[in-house]
Amino acid sequence: MGKVWFVGAGPGAPDLITVRGSRLLAEAGAILYTGSLVAETVLEWASEDCDIADSKSMSLDQVTDWLLDRASRHETVVRLQTGDPTLYGVVAELARPLDAAGIPVGIVSGVSSAMASAAAAGESLTLPEVTQTVIFTRLSERTRMPETESFVSLAAHGCTLCIFLSIERIEMVVEKLGEAGWSSTAPVVVVHKATWPGEERILRGTLKDIAARCRAEGIDRQALILVSPALGARGRIGAQTSKLYDAAFPRRFRPERLPGEAAEDPASDAN
């Protein structure tokens, strides 16, 4: 009996899968991926005789049956997920029947599209003294939000928001951000197909114009919405400098130490 690995494919570029993930693709006897979501270029790591299938038109039960069947025939079976498998994947639902059948399951992290989108746009999701918190969320739709996680209440924190699965309803996102207290001039970045070879698009706007810009560009799926007071910090004159680079701030991992500086500062784990 084989083992089924849920592997994060990363956001799109084939060299953004982890080394561990690419090794598992090369070893796999069978790979199941989601055609519309995972960039097929990532499959270049698979061996030539690998049994590869697209789950785009399969139901959850069919996916389960496929994985159970292939696990009875191959030592290594990979379920390839976009970004990181632990975010908005259906790992728990798919792993349950495998657990019940006694098939071992492993999960391999991937670069989430949230990180890839920030990197593509050249942005940092945190900025000292401005925001030190990132919320990964989405609008509720078919998947209902738990009551304590209403989009407006989360957005009201004013920290960085990485909004998944909501670009189709960007107007609603904008409306709710306004309700939560974001100003109409707040910067918003939308990244479509971050790192997909030849397909990445980055739109910068404000709360006021981002929805119209997305519509004008025809961006209505596979995009991440970034809202943050940290956006555009590189271009702002006089923006805060991280304490990390302040000579007076002790850092645990800095090789050179200032005279009299303690060897290790337990309060600082930034690197």
β-strands 105-108, 134-138 pairing: unpaired
Region 9-28 residues binding ligand SAH, contact defined as CB under 6 A: 11-12
Backbone angles phi, psi at 137, to 5 degrees: -150, -170
DSSP 128-177: TTTB--EEEEE--SSSPPPGGG-HHHHHTT-SEEEEES-GGGHHHHHHHH
Measuring CA to CA, which residue among 206, 245, 232, 225 is closest to residue 167? 225
Number of residues lying near ligand SAH (CB under 6 A): 21
Which residue in 53, 165, 172, 239 binds ligand SAH (CB under 6 A)?
A: 165
Backbone angles phi, psi at 193, to 5 degrees: 45, 55
191 binds ligand SAH (CB under 6 A): yes
Residue 167: half-sphere exposure toward Cβ, Cα within 13 Å:
22
Compose the 75-94 pattern: x for residues touching ligand SAH by CB under 6 A, - for all others.
Answer: ------xxxx--xxx-----
113 vs 131 by CB, closer to ligand SAH: 113
Compose the 208-237 pattern: x for residues touching ligand SAH by CB under 6 A, - for all others.
Answer: --------------xxx-------------
117 binds ligand SAH (CB under 6 A): yes
Calpha distance 3→78 (Å, rounded): 8
14 vs 83 by CB, closer to ligand SAH: 83
Residues that bind ligand SAH (CB under 6 A): 11-12, 81-84, 87-89, 112-113, 117, 164-165, 191, 193-194, 196, 222-224
